[in-house]
Structure 1
Amino acid sequence: MKVCIIGNSHTGALKRAWDTFFDSNFKNIFDLTFFASRAQRLEGLKIEGTKLIPQNEYLKENLKFTSGGKPYVDLSLYDVFLVYGLSTRPYFLSKVFYSEAVLIKSIEDNHTSSLSFKILTMIRDVVDTKTFIGHDPLRVNKDRDGIEFDKVLTEQYSLGISLVNESLFFPLGAELLEQPQQTIVGKGRNTHSIYSKGSKRLDVGDEKDGELHPESDNRHMNDEFGKIWLESFLGRLKSEL
């Protein structure tokens, strides 16, 4: 199965995990190609035929480096897409009652302006291949690492993801995925801090490759997190073969 993963700096944890931790049991089944660039630089992609073409040399070199030599994304070549990070946020369903119209508007406001959604619509302009969306990791708050797991509050996260899918992504042949539960702590709104320790910048072939994020960074996750996330995702794909 050919899997195309498109994303920003958050994709670095997934790519390093794939290169480091996964053996032939996975690699004989899945062929992963990563197309990534830091921050919002994938804004520089434009559709030309079946391809997403970079509009500047820096982005082109980033794509070549992360993909193993491919200077553009040929959307016709892949069996599955994963659009990861790119300002996609989780959605928490409030315990306060709101009308359906208000909820739908809130979901649209929360998601349709993201670069992730833009990439999804570009994919849909060309192919109808199943596309998964991975939101930015839940932020770390060390003060919440030891809070007893609260199923009720965690359901606000799961139910929120379900509502986003039903109202926005499923009609587009896409699906927003939950972050693996084993990485989530107490109140269901944070990632355990062990998964941010030692996180590194996305490697794109420049002087910042391998550079550690500051200790104060609470948004980027490490390779162990990437391993857990990919195991969950690829397990899902394998179950559907």
Structure 2
Amino acid sequence: MTQAPVLEEIRPAARPQLRYRGVRSVVALILREMSTSYGRNPGGYLWAVLQPLAMIAVLTLAFSMLLRSPSLGTSFLLFYATGFLVLRMFQEVHAAVSWAIGANTALLAYPRVTYVDTLIARGALAILTQFMVSGIVFFVIFTIEDIRVIMNFVPILQTFGAVLLLSAGIGTFNAYMSFSFPVYKTIWGVATRPLMLVSGIFYIYEDLPLSAQNVLWFNPLIHLSGLMRAGFYSSYDPTYISLTYVCFVGAVPMFFGVLLLRRYAKDILYK
């Protein structure tokens, strides 16, 4: 009797590579976003820093003519920066995540690229860019005005963490809504246009009358601008802030956004 040949076990050599396929896709998308968003414009990342600096300088020039001093401290630049940079981080990260699918529709035809990769790549790039911008802006302000403050990094880090959750959560939900209903992007833009006025950039929550406080408390960004200022001004102790509420506003749309994107993933791919 002839003995049946023993088949050697074939090990899939490509399996380790599959494990890092998603990481490579995200990194490639980040590099692509860097070149398309900042590489084609003259100045590139320089404009990402100059735009908030110019906005803060305009606010300082305008309000310093009307007021003798800001609501906190003596530096108009620092006061407006602690509010404006929070709003800008929310807007930039939210926009990057919200319009990620629409901006990368052609790439979704490749099997190695998924809508999750596009959301993570654009969100990660926006987060890193805004961290860099915030650090440079605060460094410039502290250098120009020779500011000496005792900073509390706990509320500052809490602010950054909460604003990232808020912007990523709302952005994930809007990623589905804007792709499925194109008019939604226009509606959202109109609805959020007053954020500059109602997010505590020009004032602190305690300066407002009680009727305005009762309404603006439901804007999570006014909680975050107050929390950020608590880290820069040791004498400021806001009691109205609720991180639980802010995280709730960010977590709920993220949950439904992920649910809807997974449910209609094929529609997104073949639309």
Which of the pair has more CA radius of gyration? 2
> Structure 2-normalised TM-score?
0.27
Larger proportion of strand = 1
The structure whose residues are more often helix, as a share, is 2
Q: Taking structure 1 as the reference length, what is the TM-score of the superposition? A: 0.29
